[in-house]
Structure 1
Amino acid sequence: MEQNAAETPSPRVAVVLFLLKDKCVLLGRRRSSVGNSTFALPGGHLEFGESFEECAARELKEETGMEINKTELLTVTNNVFLEEPKPCHYVTVFLRATLADPEQMPQNLEPEKCYGWDWYDWDNLPNPLFLPLDKMVKSGFNPFPID
């Protein structure tokens, strides 16, 4: 049975970044219809023709003003949000990076989308976490490289 394209939302691709500093990760508190007031990684929608790495660097710069070193692909998750005001489906690409300059401080350059950015110890994350990140944390995932 075919469904009308207007009735069924299409999956979208999100690219998010584990920005690591010491044993901390950068998180922002979302202002959004999806996951409002939850803590999430920096990131956003993949644009046409853009690589995952380009998307992560662009989104971080747009959201925080910070620049990163080389990124590394960590994993991909499949997330369906049925409980939100408008159901949506995201394939989320997770990358990892460190700051190009460790002295950079995050700025909140999109206050209409985020309450602010801060560094959180991986072993003491704030709550509530955004669903895709929460699922990863509960599964035991660790974004830090093994020494």
Structure 2
Amino acid sequence: MASAAGSSRVPRVGVAVFLLRGKTVLLGRRRSSIGASTFALPGGHLEFGESFEECAAREVKEETGLEVDKIEYVTLTNTLFLDEPKPAHYVTIFMRASMKDPDQVPQTVEPDKCDGWGWYEWDDLPKPLFWPLEKMVQSGLSPFPDPNSGQ
């Protein structure tokens, strides 16, 4: 069994949030050490005692300035980043949320972490995608609510 002495040896929990507008999704180009220059959803680390919904709302606000509601669970991925300078293991919880005000415009609140936000067609996503998002896309799962489910 691996030692938990280094932080890279302990899995972390990330929460990523699908903000949807029509058939588009909000993505930003990462500037962080893991997944630099890949396109990712707004999100971040789950804090101690925080619910997935609380984390989703907090991270979206911190990164984009957007207020969200109607937050719901979509899926999760279990990802090893072994080719990174500091290998890591992440469990990423994917959530879906609606903007409280559909006229809100995403801001680049953390320019040291993200080059900017844009709306991208789900069927024509930019490349490369951040690995947890790429895994989710490859699974065939869509973040869009099923119109037949009543969501």
Q: What interval of TM-score do these two structures reach, taking the shorter chain for normalisation?
A: over 0.9
2:110 — aligned with what? 110
Deviation of the 1:85 alpha carbon = 0.3
Structure 1 residues 85, 72: CA separation in 2 closer, same or farther (over 3 Å shift)?
Answer: same
Do the aligned partners of 2:3 and 2:9 also contact (CA within 8 Å) in 1? no
Q: For residues 30-67 of structure 1, what are the alpha-carbon distances to aligned partners after superposition, in whole Å with 9 as ceiling and x for unaligned?
A: 00111100000000000111110000000000001001
Structure 1 residues 2, 86: CA separation in 2 closer, same or farther (over 3 Å shift)?
Answer: closer
In 2, the alpha carbon distance for the partners of 1:6 and 1:31 equals: 23
Deviation of the 1:142 alpha carbon = 0.5
1:67 — aligned with what? 67
Structure 1 residues 26, 83: CA separation in 2 closer, same or farther (over 3 Å shift)?
Answer: same
2:133 — aligned with what? 133
Unaligned runs of 5+ in 1: none
Structure 1 residues 98, 8: CA separation in 2 closer, same or farther (over 3 Å shift)?
Answer: closer
Q: How does 1:33-52 map to 2 (within 5 A)?
A: 33-52=33-52
3-state SS, counterpart of residue 56 of structure 2: helix
1:58 — aligned with what? 58
Q: Report sequence identity in percent.
A: 66
How does the TM-score come out when normalised to structure 1? 0.95
3-state SS, counterpart of residue 77 of structure 1: strand
Do the aligned partners of 2:15 and 2:92 also contact (CA within 8 Å) in 1? yes
> What is the aligned length?
147
Q: Partner letter of residue 107 of structure 2? A: Q
Q: Does 1:146 align with 2:146?
A: yes
Q: Partner letter of residue 115 of structure 2? A: Y
CA RMSD of superposed structures (Å): 1.4
Q: Partner letter of residue 28 of structure 2? A: G
In 2, the alpha carbon distance for the partners of 1:94 and 1:81 equals: 18
Structure 1 residues 8, 42: CA separation in 2 closer, same or farther (over 3 Å shift)?
Answer: closer
How does the TM-score come out when normalised to structure 2? 0.93
